[in-house]
Structure 1
Amino acid sequence: MPASDYQDDLALLTEAAKAAGEIALGYWKRGPEAWDKGGGAGPVSEADLAVNAMLERDLRAARPDYGWLSEESADSTERLAAKRVFIVDPIDGTRAFLAHDGGFAHALAMVEDGRAVAGVVHLPALELTYAAALGGPALLNGEPISPSTAQHVEGSTVLTSKLSDDPGHWRRGVPRYRRSLRPSLAWRLCLVAEGRYDATISLRPAWEWDIAAASLIAECAGAMATDRNGSPLRFNRPNAQSNGLVVAAPRLHADYIAQLRHWPE
Structure 2
Amino acid sequence: MSPFPEHGRTNDQRSAEDLAAQAGRMLTNLRVSKMDPEELGPLAEAEARAVMVDRLAVARPGDVVFGEWCPDDRARLDADRVWFVDPLDGVRSYVTEGRPDWAAQVALWEKGPDGVSGITACAIAMPAYGRVLTGRGATTYQPISIIRGPRPGPLVPPREDDRLRIAVSEAGPPEFAEELAQQLDASLVRLGSGGGKTATVLEDECDVYIHTSGHHQWDSAATVGVVQQRGLHASALDGSELRYNTEAIEFPDLLVCKPELADTIISAVAQYL
* TM-score under structure 2 length normalisation: 0.77
Match of 1:69 among 66, 69, 72: 66
Residue in structure 1 matched with residue 83 of structure 2 by the alignment: 86
Residue in structure 2 matched with residue 102 of structure 1 by the alignment: 100
Residue in structure 2 matched with residue 195 of structure 1 by the alignment: 204
| Runs of 4+ with >4 A deviation | 1-6, 33-36, 167-170
Distance in structure 1 (CA, Å) of the matches to 2:57 and 2:272: 36
Residue in structure 1 matched with residue 187 of structure 2 by the alignment: 178
Alpha-carbon deviation of 1:168?
A: 11
Query: Which deviations, in whole Å up to 9, do the C-alpha atoms of 1:167-209 show, x marking residues without a partner?
Result: 7997xx8543211022221122232123221111112222222
Match of 2:32 among 21, 29, 33: 29
Residue in structure 1 matched with residue 157 of structure 2 by the alignment: none
Alpha-carbon deviation of 1:118?
A: 0.9
What secondary structure does 1:91 align onto?
strand
Which 5+ residue runs of structure 2 have no aligned equivalent? 112-116, 141-161
- When structure 1 is superposed on structure 2, of 219-228 and 234-243 the one drifting more is 234-243
Alpha-carbon deviation of 1:23?
A: 1.9
Query: Which deviations, in whole Å up to 9, do the C-alpha atoms of 1:85-143 show, x marking residues without a partner?
Result: 100110111111100223211101011235211111012243121012xxxxx30236x
Residue in structure 1 matched with residue 139 of structure 2 by the alignment: 141
What secondary structure does 1:115 align onto?
strand
Are 1:129 and 2:132 counterparts? yes
Are 1:19 and 2:22 counterparts? yes
Distance 1:71 1:31, change over 3 A: farther
Distance 1:263 1:75, change over 3 A: farther
Alpha-carbon deviation of 1:4?
A: 6.2
Aligned residues: 241
Residue in structure 2 matched with residue 117 of structure 1 by the alignment: 120
Distance 1:235 1:180, change over 3 A: same
- When structure 1 is superposed on structure 2, of 4-13 and 214-223 the one drifting more is 4-13
Query: Which deviations, in whole Å up to 9, do the C-alpha atoms of 1:6-43 show, x marking residues without a partner?
Result: 6111101111122112321232032446659xxxxxx9
Residue in structure 2 matched with residue 50 of structure 1 by the alignment: 47
Distance 1:262 1:57, change over 3 A: farther
Residue in structure 2 matched with residue 150 of structure 1 by the alignment: none
Alpha-carbon deviation of 1:261?
A: 2.5
Counterpart residue identity of residue 86, structure 1: W
Distance 1:10 1:33, change over 3 A: farther
What secondary structure does 2:120 align onto?
strand
Counterpart residue identity of residue 237, structure 2: R
Residue in structure 1 matched with residue 267 of structure 2 by the alignment: 258
Distance 1:168 1:124, change over 3 A: closer
Counterpart residue identity of residue 166, structure 1: F
Distance 1:263 1:59, change over 3 A: farther
Alpha carbon RMSD of aligned pairs, Å?
Answer: 2.9
Distance in structure 2 (CA, Å) of the matches to 1:19 and 1:169: 41
* TM-score under structure 1 length normalisation: 0.79
- Answer yes or no: is the 8 Å Cα contact 2:124–2:223 preserved in 1: yes
Which 5+ residue runs of structure 1 have no aligned equivalent? 37-42, 133-137, 143-153
Percent identity over paired residues: 22
Distance in structure 1 (CA, Å) of the matches to 2:33 and 2:123: 26
Are 1:166 and 2:176 counterparts? yes
- Answer yes or no: is the 8 Å Cα contact 1:156–1:178 preserved in 2: yes
Residue in structure 2 matched with residue 40 of structure 1 by the alignment: none
Alpha-carbon deviation of 1:45?
A: 1.6
Distance 1:91 1:227, change over 3 A: same
Distance in structure 2 (CA, Å) of the matches to 1:193 and 1:207: 21
